[in-house]
Amino acid sequence: MTSDKSTSGPETIDTAPPKPSKLRAWARAGARRFGGLLSAGANGLLVTGLLIATPFALVTPLGNYSLSQLQPPAERTLVLHGIDGQPFARRGGCVAESVQLSEVPDHFVAALLAMEDRRFRYHLGVDPIGTVRALFRNLDAGTFVQGGSTLTQQLVKNAFLSSDRTLERKQKEALLSLWLEWRLSKTEILEHYMSRVYFGEGCFGLRAAARRYFDKPVRDLTLAESAYLVALIKAPSELARDEDAAQRRAELVLQAMVETGDLKAADAKAVPRARPRPEAKELGGYYADWVATTINVTDKSDYTPLPVHTTFDPKLQGLAENALDGVLAKRGRKQQASEGAMVVMRKDGTVVAMVGGTDYAKSPFNRAVQAQRQPGSAFKLFVYLAALRAGVDPDARISDQPITIGDYEPKNYGKGYRGDVAIRSAFAASINTVAVRLSEAVGRESVIATARDLGISTKLEPTPSIALGSFEVNLLELTSAYAAIAAGAYPVKPWAITAFEQLPSTVRPPVGAGAWLLTEADDARSLLSDVVRSGTGRRARLKVASYGKTGTSQDHRDAWFIGFAGDLVVGVWVGNDDFSPMRRVTGGGLPAEIWHEFMVEALEIEKQRKEPSLQIAAFTPQPRKSTGQYQIAADVLSGGPNAYADGGAEFGPGPFGFGQRFLNRGGERAKTRRGGRKGGGLFGRLFN
């Protein structure tokens, strides 16, 4: 192997072998030729039987295999940009075009063959000597410490097969390796291998790895850098995250080059440590993951990075992370709350920040999007909104007393009852019996229809407990539903991507977003304001108008606060991944504190914000035509003796002063109410 003439690194190391005596040189050359002949002979014995048994194996691929599968992966890199125009994260593949042997430094090839396949030039795809050597080493160690696969076999496994350690897979690997050696030259096999081998950090192929770790083209790699990259091949996922371990293995690579005669021992000791480029610190890892999952790049032949412009706000992202981490660091351990999540969006659904957990590096599981948890009383918004649609006055009075529906007997927090209370007071205090009574009066299907209209797509069933949030939702959808109240239009669809490549001057929300006027929005906002001003959400109270609702699931397994102020709609969840109970954490506790701490600083930033260069088209909601009337069972509201009996029993006057069984919508108020039907979730059907 000749020394590399094109290397531009700082060291000037002669990679040519030392000049031994003629006797030693003759002995070494003879030994290497003998090893090659021995390997070739052993291959001949091995292959002869295979050729006889499988005469077509070397002409056509086994199964549905094609040489086109040898091309490097082409998952295009996504470069995500925030509202400031700056990139904040990269997602997708770390990939690049195939490399040609002519552009690869000689010392990289020498390092690769010395470490991975010393008889590559002589074997026919399978190396019996290497296989036997690995077998004895593994037996001696009592465990698997070395594989006997050639570069050709590794290429076959990476391109065609799985990593399963089964006899069937090894048999296919051997036959396909022989076929590949028959179809391609050694140079072509080497180029394909270097173009698709995995180097960790999502990088496939030498070209992509050289750019990721050293920010340079392949031809400029130094000897130290080549050794470092070859070292990663053994365990790329682990070594890419442990630089010290990778450096120690790089020293083994240099020693292997000494053993093969490609490097002098003295020069190997003089090689400096490679200095891989530290991974750029990313903002909004959970946000970036969420956005990336919504993009489907169809062109698989394009390796150029794709700019993706988003509504991500790095300042608000930083505030969100600090608020969540700060409150949990102070009180989380004491109250046995280990995790949390936040979603920050605007009234039009543009998501500007997202926190899916306390530590993205330890757990990229996005609790804001992927986790399904019980919302508790945060779900009561849909119960009360359904009642408002049916004509209920928020200031009317309703009965708070024990209620039984079959075997279901909901209890209030604190186990007390207040008798007749105003509906808005019941909402502010989050009284369970009133929510259930309203749900039964307006109908559980109407509650579900209301939730669907506002974007809840998860499983909901018409059971009595639905009024108290017994069915799981995710934070992103729940926050979007509250955004509809803030916007006065529905549905609000969460979105982030404003453009690819070039950013336009104006963008529009997703199709169908904000299509329908929510005529009950004023009353709903009034109820949410009472929660913050005098109810369970008092810890979230701000100096400006603020709105929100608390939620706590059974046994304090989940705690929520969803609310809005100014143009920002923010949802907070706190809990534990293993669903273990927290120590009496309610939605008015840690979540409300996190929400308040974020909002105080966020609203100050909003005041100082300059007019954005990107304009987002406003919603243009239209009124919906009524498809029928909601009917409210008056005796259900009053808690009469036959409230949940079937049949035509006579009922006395209810809390609204009506003597009939059902309270129908009436007067001018009724003209703005709409009938409900089953919906299809966030991007699904709405009222007709």
No. of H helices and E strands in the chain? 22, 17
| Residue 295 neighbours by CB under 8 Å, 6+ apart | 78, 308, 497
Burial 567-591 (b: 16+ CB within 10 A, else e): bbbbbbbbbbeeeeebeebbbbbbb
Residue reference for tokens 């543009």: 350
Task: Kindly state the tokens that stand for 5.
Answer: 């003439």
Is 425 assigned a catalytic role? no
Residue 518 CA to residue 524 CA, distance in Å, equals: 10
> Distance (Å, rounded) from C-alpha 385 to C-alpha 394?
10
Q: How many CA atoms lie within 13 A of 15 on its CB side?
A: 27
Q: Which of 3, 39, 116, 440 is catalytic?
A: 116
Rounded to whole angstroms, the Cα distance separating 295 from 186 reads 39
Q: What's the distance, Cα to Cα, between the start and end of the chain in Å?
A: 76
On the 0-12 / 13-18 / 19+ scale of CB atoms within 10 A, 336 is middle
> Residue written as tokens 């090894």?
170
Half-sphere exposure of 10 (CA within 13 A, CB side): 6
The answer to whether 445 is a known catalytic residue is no
Query: What region does 17 belong to: left with phi over 0, alpha with psi -120 to 50, or beta?
Result: beta
The catalytic position among 39, 226, 377, 465 is 377
Beta-carbon-side half-sphere exposure of residue 297 (alpha carbons within 13 Å) = 22
- Residue 592 CA to residue 560 CA, distance in Å, equals 8
Give CA–CA dist 19/453, Å, rounded: 82
Give every CB contact of residue 394 below 8 A, 6+ residues apart in sequence. Answer: 388, 422, 423, 424, 427, 523, 526, 527
Q: Are 128 and 119 within 8 A, CB to CB?
A: no
Q: What angle do CA 306, 308, 313 make, to 5 degrees?
A: 150
Residue position matching structure tokens 């929400």: 595
Catalytic residues: 116, 377
